[in-house]
A and B are shown apart, each in its own frame.
Chain A
């Protein structure tokens, strides 16, 4: 918590000026559409023409020179996104972040905004992938609702979802093991676990109501297991197009389905056994 005179939303003058300068080459900045980002209120986009005093007002309209402004989080978001391009070469490191900052016209020292082990970069990437997955699943669901596509059976749905998500790792696959180890650092575990569980929940949400006799916790655990093991297999997979991984995935999902059937069988067997015992007890008592 900072006790400062000005609200945390004051204009980032320098970065705003940079963005204006590179307007023609600028690509669309990522909007905070992902549910994982609870950014400060969105930037005002009206160009302020009338001259303002040296300090921005509380309504957040920037100084006379900037047309829009962004919060620190949004700028950090942009730097991390730009940094992803350099990960295959530099790994998930402060160097990649520095290169990313350079492309935005900022000094390489801006990498100091983040931890030197690249944690934020990795978490940012994971959350972006999860968002992409959600959007993909939502689109598919819409198609099904509109009747333009068939509803997939549950095992196929899970397989496709996990495959789509894991495919997003492919450009970074060389350095991904390094990322996994960073995600396991005690400091990062709460965030990485959070991201993982929300992704799994998402997949189950879009998988729909198909009854599989699992209760909620088991479903989560099963899919998390499938996802994690497949991810690890993918790290060591050198087959063309990762076909070994997808086959592994298929088997694991099939196992999970059989397990659910077995579970229901066990349950009904269990009931039968109990009935038998009751019958035996009654017979004995007579």
Chain B
């Protein structure tokens, strides 16, 4: 798995766009919307290499924070200019409202690409990059509000261990969110999807990234991954409550959610 991603790292984003025809952006947007984070949330994004989820999270929290501040200002109609100025200044330095993202990935290359992207796009605060293995996270218990793993869990050898680790590092009340390719139940769509996966994607892999084998692996790992209900049962086994999943695009992708209660 490590080598696959080493070669894939640099072209990861480009390949994502071409493979999914850009829809992966929408999927990730939906994931963050579902999370609906409020300022002050501590997020752990596992296998989040190039930072897609992390950046979306920061954008979301920033806009929520903006609205919060606007509402506060509206209530400040009766304050003196001095007081308004002071409160504005205080909040100015808190545009994220203490929210933070820790991006954890097993692969150094992916993290490197992620850091470069962050710099390039102008994300400076609230981000940390940590090297780590999903099956054995380098964090203490009960630390994070939300744990996300987007398109990463299928690459984990022992999914149950990763789920247990997720449970461990989450605070009580914390949320587990998993975005992953899943099982298409509609037979017609399933045939089209198979056709696309096995014929088109490896070719794209060769053309764009110069690597047929890795993308062949990718497609096959998707087929091997447990379907929605099975993954849901595994998440429940790890101790999560209110486990639910939402199919996107008829099951091509699914978002699983669970709470540590």
Query: Could you tell me which A residues sit within 8 Å of B by CB distance?
Result: 2-6, 12-15, 17-18, 72, 75, 94-95, 98, 101, 104-113, 116
> With a CB–CB cut-off of 8 A, which chain B residues contact A95?
38, 68
- Chain A residues contacting B145 (CB-CB under 8 Å) are 107-109
Please, what's the 1-or-0 string for B130-153, where 1 marks a CB less than 8 Å from any CB in chain A? 000000000000001110000000
CB pairs A–B below 8 angstroms (23 shown) = A3-B229, A4-B236, A12-B261, A13-B239, A14-B172, A17-B172, A72-B242, A72-B261, A106-B171, A106-B173, A107-B144, A107-B146, A107-B172, A107-B173, A108-B37, A108-B173, A109-B41, A110-B174, A111-B38, A112-B34, A112-B175, A113-B259, A116-B36
**Which residues of B173-224 have CB atoms within 8 Å of chain A's CB atoms?**
173-175
Contact among A2, A104, A106, A111 for B36, CB-based, below 8 A: A111
Instruction: Tell me whether A110 and B259 are in contact in the complex, defined as CB-CB below 8 angstroms, given that A14-B172, A14-B173, A15-B172 are known contacts.
Output: yes
User: How far, in whole Å, are A95 and B64 apart by their CA atoms in the complex?
Assistant: 10
Chain B residues 208 to 261 lying within 8 A of chain A, measured CB to CB, are 229, 233, 236-237, 239, 241-243, 257, 259-261
Give min CB distance, A116 to chain B, whole Å. 5
Q: Please, which residues of chain B bring their CB within 8 A of the CB of A13?
A: 239
**Given A4-B233, A112-B259: A101 touches B36 (CB 8 Å cut-off):** no
**Interface hits, B22-47 → A, CB 8 Å:** 34-38, 40-41
> 8 shortest A-B CB distances, which residue pairs?
A106-B173, A110-B173, A14-B172, A107-B173, A109-B175, A107-B171, A107-B174, A107-B145
CA distance A14 to B144 in the complex (A): 14
Report the Cα distance A38→B163, complex, angstroms: 32
Distance between B176 CB and nearest chain A CB, rounded to angstroms? 9
Expressed in whole angstroms, the Cα–Cα distance for A17 and B172 within the complex equals 9
Question: Which residue in B68, B146, B229, B242 is a CB contact (below 8 Å) of A113?
Answer: B242
Question: B104 at the A/B interface (Cβ < 8 Å)?
Answer: no
With A108-B173, A111-B38, A113-B242 given, can you name 11 additional A-B contacts, CB distance below 8 Å? A13-B239, A14-B260, A17-B172, A72-B242, A75-B261, A95-B38, A98-B38, A107-B171, A109-B173, A110-B261, A112-B34
A107-B177 Cα distance, complex, nearest whole Å: 15
* Least CB distance, B172 to chain A, in whole angstroms: 4
* A98 CB contacts on chain B under 8 angstroms: 38
Give the chain A neighbours of B242 by CB distance below 8 A: 72, 113
CB of B170 closer than 8 Å to a CB of A: yes
The answer to whether A18 and B172 touch (CB under 8 A), given A109-B146, A112-B36, A112-B259, is yes
A144 to chain B, nearest CB (A): 45
- Per the bound structure, the CA–CA distance linking A166 and B37 in Å amounts to 34
Query: Complex Cα distance A3/B230, Å?
Result: 11
B41 near A108: Cβ-Cβ < 8 Å:
yes
- Are A94 and B38 in contact, CB atoms less than 8 angstroms apart? yes
Q: Which residues of B contact A15 (CB under 8 A)?
A: 172-173, 261
Cα A228 to Cα B75 with chains together (Å): 30
Contact B233 A110 (CB under 8 A): no
Q: Which residues of B contact A94 (CB under 8 A)?
A: 36, 38
Q: Which chain A positions have C-beta within 8 A of B259?
A: 109-110, 112-113
Nearest residue (CB) in B for A105 is B172
Partner among A17, A106, A108 whose Cβ is within 8 Å of the Cβ of B38: A108
Min Cβ gap B128→A in Å is: 18
With A14-B260, A113-B242 as contacts: A107 and B170 at CB distance below 8 Å: yes
Q: Cβ of A3: which chain B residues have Cβ within 8 Å of it? A: 229, 233
A247 → chain B closest CB, angstroms: 31
Rounded to whole angstroms, the CA-CA distance of A12 and B173 in the bound complex is 10
Query: From A98, which residue of chain B is reached at the shortest CB distance?
Result: B38
Contacts of A106 in B (CB 8 A): 171-173
Complex CA gap A4/B242 in Å reads: 12
A111 to B257, CA, bound (A): 13
Q: Compute how far the CA of A15 lies from the CA of B242 in the bound complex, rounded to whole angstroms.
A: 14
| Contact residues in A for B68 (Cβ distance below 8 Å) | 95
Q: Which residues of B contact A112 (CB under 8 A)?
A: 34-36, 175, 257, 259
Check if A101 sits within 8 Å of B173, measured CB to CB: yes
The residues of A that contact B175 with a CB separation of less than 8 Å are 107, 109-110, 112
Q: How far is the CB of A127 from chain B (nearest CB, A)?
A: 21
Distance in angstroms from A2 CB to nearest chain B CB is 8
Q: Using Cβ atoms and an 8 Å threshold, which residues of chain A touch B146?
A: 107, 109
Distance in angstroms from B47 CB to nearest chain A CB is 19
Expressed in whole angstroms, the minimum distance between the Cβ of A268 and any Cβ of chain B is: 60
Please report the C-alpha to C-alpha distance between residue A12 and residue B68 in the assembled complex, in whole angstroms: 33
Quote the shortest CB–CB distance from B67 to chain A (angstroms): 10
* A83, chain B: closest CB distance, angstroms: 12
| Chain A residues positioned under 8 Å from B241 (CB to CB) | 12, 72
- The residue of chain B having its C-beta at the shortest distance from the C-beta of A112 within the complex is B175
A112 to B261 Cα, complex, angstroms: 12
Given contacts A13-B239, A14-B172, A17-B172, contact A108 B40 (CB under 8 A): yes
